[in-house]
Amino acid sequence: MKLYTYFRSSAAYRVRIALNLKGVRYEAVPINLLKGEQKAEDYRRINPQGRVPALDLGETVLTQSTALLEYLDEVYPEPPLLPVGAMQRARVRAVSSIIACDIHPLNNSGTLAYLKNRLGHDQAAADDWYRHWVSEGFEAVEKLIEPGPYAFGTRITLADLYLVPQVFNARRFNIALDDYPKIRAVDEACARHAAFREAAPANQPDAA
């Protein structure tokens, strides 16, 4: 199994955490987004969208982190990434969706590059854009999670897998987290877990 990844990609980060949690061995294949390797013809044959992550299973390649996380949870059910009960699962999915659908698409590298290169905004304007959407999303997430110590109790769920990479990105863009004590508490709890530590950007082979 090969995971096409980039050390600072939050989408790839989510999948690395899941693979580690479930004890699935994989080969990391770095794709340098800053050098445009995702746009190369060879990589487009692997992932026509030209993004990471992509998971090569041998017989096929799967793309999109949400689909990959669902696949991994179905094929490797232990430990489960969703809690028991339809209502609790919906709450976990809601927090995950705030990050995956409302924050991340507005702040990924392609969006920021378009703001600067095609629409003519300077770096300060792009940074303001980034901070606005992260802050708006985090305000909602802060109200919805229930640390105990993870986002929804004593077991890690999808919400934690989405939240931790987004916190990493927020810190990278110097976004103050003082107003989000519950988010910070969840991030600190996850940082003590080996699956999260091993998946962290600083510990990836392409981080050097």
Burial of 140 (C-beta count, 10 Å sphere; 0-12/13-18/19+): middle
Element counts in the chain: helices (H) and strands (E): 10, 6
Q: In tens digits, what is the pLDDT along the chain, a chain of 208 residues?
A: 999 999 999 999 999 999 999 999 999 999 999 999 999 999 999 999 999 999 999 999 999 999 999 999 999 999 999 999 999 999 999 999 999 999 987 787 778 778 788 888 888 888 888 888 899 999 999 999 999 999 999 999 999 999 999 999 999 989 999 999 999 999 999 999 999 999 999 999 999 7
CA distance 33 to 142: 30
- Closest-CA residue to 109 (of 7, 19, 3): 7
> What domains are defined for the chain?
2-79 (3.40.30.10), 86-195 (1.20.1050.10)
| Omega prior to 83 cis, within 30 of 0 | no
Record the pTM: 0.94
